[in-house]
Structure 1
Amino acid sequence: MARKGGKGGQRGRAAQRAMYDEMDKYPVLPPHAFARIVRDKRTLNIIYQIIEPPMTKKEQEQLDEIMDIFIRSLQANIEEIDTEPEAYLRAAMDKVIKSYGLKISKKSKSKIFYYIRRDLIGYGKMDVLMNDVNVEDISLDGTGIPIFAYHRKFESVETSCVWNTDDELESYVIKLAQRCGKHISVAEPLLDATLMD
């Protein structure tokens, strides 16, 4: 799910400046998601950093609660989801917030919806990469290894996106296969498919 916002404030920015030279920064999914291209001062490698809104502990708990309610009780209308998936999710989230009497600020609600959309109808932790018009190709060599992307301006770059466990990666690959209308399994481990969007 979402990640808490690591080192925030002045110390976090100062640490970034000490380690990296910023080469470019631009919105991918405004107002929440950005791409920042930096050069590591030590290794001189170019790194594509995915910048998403940091979550407070309370926001993360609220997101987890809403997602849990969705999983347990969301009645999906396939036609409505197919035509306007974002509007459907937003209405469902608003209904859950109202029905359960959750007190969520407008700013927090916007961030929470970003992660709900990203994880349910987007591409999860790879959503920024998949929606960046400057990213032409994405390659992954396994867990614990940064994903690489081919960027129009900076060519092959390491990204800040890493799959930490085999289970997490396997679940993601199965989700992508299902979105393509395909099946992948141990018996059929190779998949040739095209995403519709």
Structure 2
Amino acid sequence: MAEAQGRKPGRVYAEYFIGDAVVRLRQSENSLVYEVEEPKLNERIRKLLDKAMEEYVKKGTDPEKLAEKYSKRLEEGEATALRYYLLRELKGYSKLHVLMHDENIEDFTITMPGPVRLIHRLAPHYEWIESNIVIESDEELDRLVKLVIERAGGSITPANPVVEILTPAFDRVAGVLRGEVSLHSSITVRKFPRKPYSLARLIRLGTLSSETAAILWLAVELKCNMIIAGLTGSGKTTLLNSLLLQLPKNYKIVTIEEHPEINLGDHPGWLPLYARTPTAPATRQTAIPLTRLLKAALRHRPTIMVVGEARAEEVQDMVTAAAVGHGTATTLHTDSLEHMLRRLTSYPMSLRPDQLALIDYAVFIARRPDGRRQVTEIYENRGGKWEAIYDSRKEKLKLSEKLAEKLALTYKGLDPMEILTLEVRRRAEKLRTLARAEEVVAAA
């Protein structure tokens, strides 16, 4: 059972249940602590747990039947505790059970014995916060790393000490076993939101202003070609996902990814495609790369074609889609316009100047020192010349000439910039109203 490690109680910012466990986000000096309170154990429950576990080892009895059998001898509260711990150990994730089931967690990590650290969706600006879940030894850490990977259908051994795998819930697990490549075993779990962040929520979190969000929303809806760039953990995919969620229901959106990250929920026009990358030599001929999926996607007549992350020659196929009138969007691991252009024009992407001209917008997002994610720059491509229309340091947003021109095709006879001004204002006001209803934990 997770217990507080001698900390003085502070203000509770959030409290909720994960099954029969209670989770609290509590103030601790200049940060937060993630506290888990699991059902209480007494000596009677411990003895019955030991008997049930022994029966499981000897007879392989179904854990649910064991829980039912042994809880009959207990009062309601004790029965709840016995069932909780029995299923936690035999079907769940032991000490990490609550973390694996808490959808409010973005990432959690263990790099050595000690407290588990995590990033919480209600307070991402606090960066990595400690929990009261403590790993006591290297041996316990070894066991937990193996357990999580085995529950995902994988195996980690001294012969294969570095493993990346998806859980059945599509959370990404990266595990390392000590001895061969590291002093300690380690595990990091990236938990993708079951309910993706809305554009309004990003506004509430301070990632971008309502006016900036309105411009990007309009750009994607008008089938502009966009790259969202930033470093690891900056929020590229989160921003892309939030923009795609704003698209009309009559749009057909094809997303192409190596791992499932984009989630458009019940959008009727969403077609997700995933690459198949088997690692065993005997099955490598069954691989389905991103480039093959991109070619297949074009036959589905997408309104918008999305590549989860641009890395290699698949960018060529994406630009081909842009050339024939499809909207496109992708993310790129880079932190400056200069570096982005260098990557796009170098091997293996190798875009020519005429292909590069088809990209309309470059949006840069970064994680600030205080942990907040923020859109820092937006560039518009005007005939091969990239012009900044937004810079967070100046807090000034220019209206996009490209968007005005596209809107003018619909509203003929009216002043393009005036139409754009009114449309951005309308969308920004709608987003502000929605953002006010979003709940976040304020910074200390």
- Name the TM-score, length of structure 2 as normaliser: 0.35
The C-alpha deviation readout for 1:10-66, integer Å capped at 9, x for no partner, is xxxxx97x532222111111xx211101112xx332100011011112212221221
Please give the alpha-carbon distance, in whole angstroms, between the structure 1 residues aligned to 2:47 and 2:112: 30
Please give the alpha-carbon distance, in whole angstroms, between the structure 2 residues aligned to 1:121 and 1:168: 18
Equivalent in the alignment of 2:9: 19
Equivalent in the alignment of 1:56: 42
| Residue of 143, 154, 160 corresponding to 1:171 | 143
The answer to whether residue 82 in structure 2 is matched with residue 131 in structure 1 is no
Deviation at residue 74 of structure 1 after TM alignment: 2.3
- Give the secondary-structure state (helix, strand or coil) at the position aligned to 1:55: coil
- Give the secondary-structure state (helix, strand or coil) at the position aligned to 2:14: strand
CA spacing shift, 1:103–1:180, aligned 2, 3 Å: closer
| Aligned-partner residue type, residue 93 of structure 1 | A
Deviation at residue 138 of structure 1 after TM alignment: 0.9
Gaps of 5+ in 1: 7-14, 76-87
Please give the alpha-carbon distance, in whole angstroms, between the structure 2 residues aligned to 1:185 and 1:148: 24
| Aligned-partner residue type, residue 44 of structure 1 | N
- Give the secondary-structure state (helix, strand or coil) at the position aligned to 1:25: strand
Indicate the structure whose relative CO is greater, using CA pairs within 8 Å and at least 6 residues apart. Answer: 1
The answer to whether residue 59 in structure 2 is matched with residue 89 in structure 1 is no
Equivalent in the alignment of 1:46: 32
| Aligned-partner residue type, residue 181 of structure 1 | G
| Residue of 116, 119, 122 corresponding to 1:153 | 122
Please give the alpha-carbon distance, in whole angstroms, between the structure 2 residues aligned to 1:152 and 1:94: 35
| Aligned-partner residue type, residue 18 of structure 2 | V
| Aligned-partner residue type, residue 25 of structure 2 | I
- Give the secondary-structure state (helix, strand or coil) at the position aligned to 1:133: coil
Deviation at residue 182 of structure 1 after TM alignment: 2.1
Please give the alpha-carbon distance, in whole angstroms, between the structure 2 residues aligned to 1:177 and 1:130: 12
The answer to whether residue 97 in structure 2 is matched with residue 107 in structure 1 is no
Equivalent in the alignment of 2:24: 36
| Residue of 70, 92, 99 corresponding to 2:56 | 70
Which region of structure 1 is more displaced relative to structure 2, 105-114 or 174-183?
Answer: 174-183
State the Cα RMSD in Å. 2.4
Please give the alpha-carbon distance, in whole angstroms, between the structure 1 residues aligned to 2:22 and 2:149: 26
Please give the alpha-carbon distance, in whole angstroms, between the structure 1 residues aligned to 2:102 and 2:148: 18
The answer to whether residue 129 in structure 2 is matched with residue 141 in structure 1 is no
- Give the secondary-structure state (helix, strand or coil) at the position aligned to 2:165: coil
Identity of aligned residues (%): 23
Deviation at residue 92 of structure 1 after TM alignment: 3.1
Please give the alpha-carbon distance, in whole angstroms, between the structure 2 residues aligned to 1:122 and 1:150: 21
Deviation at residue 189 of structure 1 after TM alignment: 1.1
Please give the alpha-carbon distance, in whole angstroms, between the structure 1 residues aligned to 2:148 and 2:97: 12
Please give the alpha-carbon distance, in whole angstroms, between the structure 1 residues aligned to 2:27 and 2:54: 39
Contact 2:52 2:66 in 1 (8 A): no
- Give the secondary-structure state (helix, strand or coil) at the position aligned to 1:174: helix
Contact 2:93 2:147 in 1 (8 A): no
Equivalent in the alignment of 2:134: 162
Please give the alpha-carbon distance, in whole angstroms, between the structure 2 residues aligned to 1:147 and 1:93: 28
Gaps of 5+ in 2: 170-444
- Give the secondary-structure state (helix, strand or coil) at the position aligned to 2:34: strand
Higher helix share: 1
Contact 1:34 1:128 in 2 (8 A): no
| Aligned-partner residue type, residue 61 of structure 1 | K
Deviation at residue 194 of structure 1 after TM alignment: 0.8
Please give the alpha-carbon distance, in whole angstroms, between the structure 1 residues aligned to 2:115 and 2:37: 15
